Amino acid sequence: MEAARARGRERWAAAGDLPAPEEKPPGRQLKLKPRIAVIVAVAAFLVLAAVVAVTSGGGSGDAGTDTAQPSHSYVPGLITPPEALPDESSSAPSNSMNPTLASSALGLIPPTTTQPAPPPVDNNRAPSGAKSLTMGPGCGGYTGVGSYRDGRKGWVDHGDGKCGSTFVSIPMSGDPRRDDPSAYAQWTFAVSGTCEVSVHVPNGNLEEVGGNPTVYYVYDRNGVGGTPMASFAIKQVEKRGQWVSAGKFKSSGNLTVQLLTRGQDWNNSGPTYAHHAASAVKADCTA
């Protein structure tokens, strides 16, 4: 029976009345399914990547807002850009360790006030339980690092060599934002407790007393190095012939004040030979 049916189908196919069975390449279905799977996987990956990109893009935008750099261009070695120095009449936040102390070295500069010029220096005069020391050229406790003599360009000595009437003009670095690390002045005091520091600004012209401002670091140690505990700035050109109170600082045994050389000693017409003045510095300390 089956044989007869097969012969019949062959005859009809030969006559063209029965369509021939569709020819399909062997294994085509097996190849098609993996290809579809790959396409679906790639599409899913692209959709997932787009979602992640959108999400992370929004997050990075927020983070960029939170971590934006300050508008000022801070230069290594500079505490506060000169244009950001507060007026002397403004107040500055106090040190977190003690409300009577000057501001920290993170950018705050304490206000300065002027005092009348004192009588001749006498390091033995101090209230009971207190210690008062004056250091500077001719007084002891003063060091000029990197000093050299080159006429009006270099370090220039003034006065008679006695304490209180002698000062040194120190060349500026030429840049109000950068120091010459090889040149500076320092005053060192062997004191403990809370010390009020006062700086004497001598009289002189721009080449002798030209700090505008002159920036100082304060260290709780014997000598400079590491991170200063505080800073202050004095516009010497406005305080000539005066003592200027720089603030109160904590000392655990030694206190060092450093004068930095940053400053512009030129203008559009050429060099002005402006110098910083290093004179006497006084520390009045109480335990």
Taking 60 as the threshold, does the pLDDT of residue 103 lie above it? no
Q: Which of 87, 266, 274, 264 is nearest to 179 (CA)?
A: 264
Q: What is the pLDDT of residue 17?
A: 46
pLDDT band at 164 (very low <50, low <70, confident <90, very high): confident
In this prediction, residue 285 has a pLDDT band, given cuts at 50, 70 and 90, of: very high
Opening angle at CA 79, ends 78 and 81, nearest 5: 75
Across the chain, what does the average pLDDT equal?
72
φ and ψ at residue 60, rounded to 5 degrees? -65, -30
> Cα separation of 286 and 248, whole Å?
11
pTM tops 0.85 = no
The contacts of residue 26 (CB under 8 Å, 6+ apart) are none
Q: Which of 258, 276, 260, 241 is nearest to 165 (CA)?
A: 241
Categorize the per-residue pLDDT at 40 as very low, low, confident or very high, splitting at 50, 70 and 90.
Answer: low
> Of 46-55, 57-66, 190-199, which gets the smallest average pLDDT?
57-66
Task: Calculate what percentage of the chain has a pLDDT beyond 90.
Answer: 54
Q: In what order do the strands lie in the sheet with 192-201?
A: 113-115, 242-252, 192-201, 281-286, 130-135
Question: Is residue 286 over pLDDT 90?
Answer: yes
Six token digits for residue 214: 């002159």
Strands 214-219 and 142-145: unpaired
pLDDT, average across residues 37-55:
52
The string of pLDDT tens digits covering residues 224-279 is 999 999 999 999 999 999 999 999 999 999 999 999 999 999 999 999 999 999 99
More confident residue, 261 or 100: 261
Residue 60, pLDDT score: 36
pLDDT reported for residue 99: 29
> For residues 266 and 154, is the Cβ–Cβ distance under 8 A?
no
Per the model's pLDDT, the better-predicted residue between 13 and 244 turns out to be 244
Q: Would the pLDDT of 147 be above 80?
A: yes
pLDDT band of residue 78 (cuts 50, 70, 90) is: very low
| Confidence at 87, pLDDT banded by 50, 70, 90 | very low
pLDDT-based confidence at residue 287 (cuts at 50, 70, 90): confident
Q: What is d(CA 154, CA 185) in angstroms, rounded to the nearest whole number? A: 14
Q: Please report the pLDDT score of residue 44 as a whole number.
A: 59
C-beta neighbour count of 280 within 10 angstroms: 26
Helix (H) or strand (E) holding 285: strand 281-286
104-126 mean pLDDT: 44
Average pLDDT over residues 164-192: 96
pLDDT > 70 fraction of the chain, expressed in percent and rounded: 55
Kindly report the length of the chain.
287
